[in-house]
Each structure stands twice: as C-alpha cells, then as structure tokens.
Homo-oligomer: A and B are copies of this chain.
Amino acid sequence: MPLSGIRILDLTRIISGPYCTSILADMGAEVIKIETPGEGDPVRRQGVIKNGLSWYFANYNRNKRSVALDLYSQEGKDILRQLIPTCDVVIENYRPGIMEKMGFGDDALKALRPDIIHCSINGFGTSGPYRDRPAFDFIAQAMSGFMSLNGGENDPPMRAGPPISDLVAGMNGALGVLAALLRRERTGRGDSISVSLMSSMIGLLSFQAANYFASGELPPRTGNDHGIVAPYGLFETADGQVAIAPSNDAMYDKFLDALALQSLRSHPDFQANADRMLNRASIKAVIEARTRQESSRYWIERLNQYGVPCGQVLNLREVFDDPQVADQDMAIDVPHPDGQQVRMLGFPIKFAESPCQARTPAPSLGGDTEAVLRELGLPEDRIQELLAKGAA
C-alpha cells in the first residue's frame, strides 16, 4: 500500500483530525490514536449507536490502533516521549500553543526525532488575532465567506449540510503530510505543517473569489441557479425533479434537441445566453411545461443520450441503492469483533495497484495500549502498573 511502513502518532479527536489520519490510514499508514483513558474520543458517544458502537466513530477510525494515555500525568507524557521517536508523523488538532504547553512544541518534537513531520489542524492558524479562539465547523463556514455564497437569493446565508470545513481541513492536512513525507524521502528533512478550518474554506471560494478580486463586486447567493448561465438548475418532471446543467451554447442547442423544443431557437427572448438570463423564469416555465410530461428517468436517459449533463437529486437511500455508487464501492461493510457488519463510506481515491483497504475495524478504547507499550520495550510489570494507575 502507498503508506505501508509509515507510522503516525494521532493526537486528534472529533472530526477534522480523525478524518485526516483516516485518509492516511486507509492508504496503509499505521496510525496510533492516543485517547484519554476511560473517556476517549467524544465521537465514540456521538451519532447513532448500535451494540455500543457509534457508526460515525467506526467510519472515521477504521484502520487505527487505540492507545489510552493520560497526557496530564507525568507517566503519560513519558510514554508519549518514548513513542514519538518511533513515529514518522505527529498529527494533532489542539488549539495552537497547547502542544508547547504540554512540552511537545516543534523544537521538542525535533529533539526527539530530527526528521519528524508535525501537522497542526486548527481553527484559524497558528498566528494572528484569532489564533486562540475556539473553533467549530459552523463558525469557519460563517467566517470564511462560504455561507455568504450558499443558499437561495432570498435565504439567509446558509451553512453546508455536512461539516465540510472539518473535512476539507482534514484533506489539506493529509496533503501537507504526504508532501512532507515525499520531501523527507528525498532530503532527509522533516517539516511542520499548519492547516486551519477557516483558510481551508477560503481555499474553496473559487471563481467567486477571483471575480470579487477582479471586480470588487460581491457575488450574490444564487441557490440552484447558475450565476452566469440560463437555463440551468432543477426542473420539474412528471414524478420529481431533475438537475440539468447545459453550461454553454453548444450544450443549450443539444438540450433543445433533446426536449424537441427546437422552435425556441428562433424565439426573440431566448437568443443569446444574456437574453436567457434576463428571461430566466419564462424559459424555465416553457421547459418545465415539456419536462413535466415525462418521468425523471425518461429525461435522465434522453438528456444523457444527447450529451447534456443531468441527474436526479438523490437522497441518501437512493444514493446508496444506486448502481453506480455500488460499482464504485462507496459503501463498504466492515466486520467488527462483536459480529456486527458495520456499513461505512468507501474510498473515493482508487489506486489500480495499491488500493485503499479497510484492514481493521475501529479499535476499542485503549485496545492496543498493551501491545504498543510492549513494542516500546516496557517491562510487563510496568505496563500493568500504568494500567492500574489509570495513566494508560
């Protein structure tokens, strides 16, 4: 696997950090998740719980080992100090400054292992006026400008449904770690990486940011309409709605052919895209009068035949029942020790030679503590002593 032999110390919890380390674990890295004894990652208690297991936790912590360590205790810190030199990478999502306070700032990490790669996933960055603020996905969505672009024209600014600032920050963390590993392979040097929820969201502002920079004009929220193309969006059919995206004039022509509405070509209101933008509502009405005559299925097939990008708006049941999603293995069933088959998201990155794998289910809290301490060379009585004390 791409990351076989890479060992990662995972000091993260909740979702941005665990998503980052799960991407790397799915690619074959050995991830050692440090959790507070008796308590563990709060996500263990979040979402729908079946047979005592949070399927949310199971999804984002597959392929990891769990070591319970009380990092407030001297013993816990000592063990961490012994663990770090055995790891290629340390990933954490504490607030900036906490690692230093714990005695594991960049200099301390480097002293323990000169070529260490350290990745901090944080809310706003490791410097700047908001550095110490508590962060949260919703807040990053609000402060990044993302919400100002999301939602309908007459809606309030809208958060994205899934926690995308956590997820995209996790992806940026994994990108940084992989790039640093590659550099280390070629130079022998480690690095220290910071990614924040807020900057990760700003990184998604795309053409809206470019247009704002160039024009100084604030882009509006356009809901499901395209900012500069019409017709475009959701169209009603006999039994639902279809998303249709004829993104240029050539596509618009094909769209009219597929609808058998070639007569619209000579309609004075709908000549150029600029005319159609002005008459967006009326062209939509003409098109929907036609699309309402047939089923969504009919239109999906017909429009695809004509090469017009389209698709149904699927809910999660329809998504995971969809033959394409099945073909792409985007839901996988992972056997767990108690006999549960836990369904979770599959791997969006497909390697032909070295595919991502679900090698092991999410660990029980501290399930690998003894094994990892033994690997460190701790004598058996010392291990039992630490466990008895609650330090591990």
On A, residues with C-beta under 8 Å from B are 1-3, 5, 15, 23, 27, 46-50, 54-56, 58-59, 106, 124-130, 133-152, 155-164, 167-168, 171-176, 178-183, 185-186, 189-196, 198-200, 202-216, 218-219, 221-224, 226, 232-234, 241, 243, 245, 247, 304, 307-320, 322-325, 327-328, 330-331, 342-346, 348-354
CB distance from A150 to the nearest CB of B (A): 4
Cα(A174)–Cα(B171), bound, Å: 10
The answer to whether A350 touches B194 (Cβ under 8 A) is yes
Can you spell out 25 A-B residue pairs with CB atoms less than 8 angstroms apart? A2-B180, A15-B207, A47-B210, A47-B211, A47-B214, A106-B352, A124-B324, A125-B350, A128-B323, A134-B304, A142-B313, A143-B314, A147-B313, A148-B315, A155-B155, A162-B206, A176-B351, A178-B179, A179-B349, A185-B186, A199-B348, A209-B344, A209-B345, A212-B320, A218-B317
Task: Name A144's closest neighbour in chain B (CB-CB).
Answer: B319
The answer to whether B129 touches A324 (Cβ under 8 A) is yes
Chain B residues whose CB sits within 8 angstroms of the CB of A126 once the complex forms: 350
- Interface SS of A by simple majority: mixed
CB distance from A248 to the nearest CB of B (A): 8
Given A56-B211, A208-B316, A182 and B182 contact (CB-CB distance below 8 Å): yes
Cα(A166)–Cα(B91), bound, Å: 27
CB distance from A187 to the nearest CB of B (A): 9
| Total copies of this chain within the assembly | 2
Cα(A59)–Cα(B214), bound, Å: 11
The answer to whether A179 touches B212 (Cβ under 8 A) is no
Task: Name A54's closest neighbour in chain B (CB-CB).
Answer: B210
Cα(A13)–Cα(B235), bound, Å: 28
Cα(A136)–Cα(B181), bound, Å: 33
CB distance from A230 to the nearest CB of B (A): 13
Chain B residues whose CB sits within 8 angstroms of the CB of A219 once the complex forms: 316
The answer to whether B210 touches A127 (Cβ under 8 A) is no
Given A47-B214, A155-B152, A311 and B142 contact (CB-CB distance below 8 Å): yes
Contact of A142 among B158, B314, B324 (CB under 8 A): B314
The answer to whether B208 touches A161 (Cβ under 8 A) is yes
Chain B residues whose CB sits within 8 angstroms of the CB of A125 once the complex forms: 324, 327-328, 350
The answer to whether B186 touches A182 (Cβ under 8 A) is no
Given A148-B315, A162-B204, A234-B156, A142 and B345 contact (CB-CB distance below 8 Å): no
8 A-B pairs with least C-beta separation: A149-B161, A128-B327, A2-B179, A178-B178, A48-B214, A136-B309, A142-B243, A56-B210
Contact of A354 among B149, B162, B183 (CB under 8 A): B183
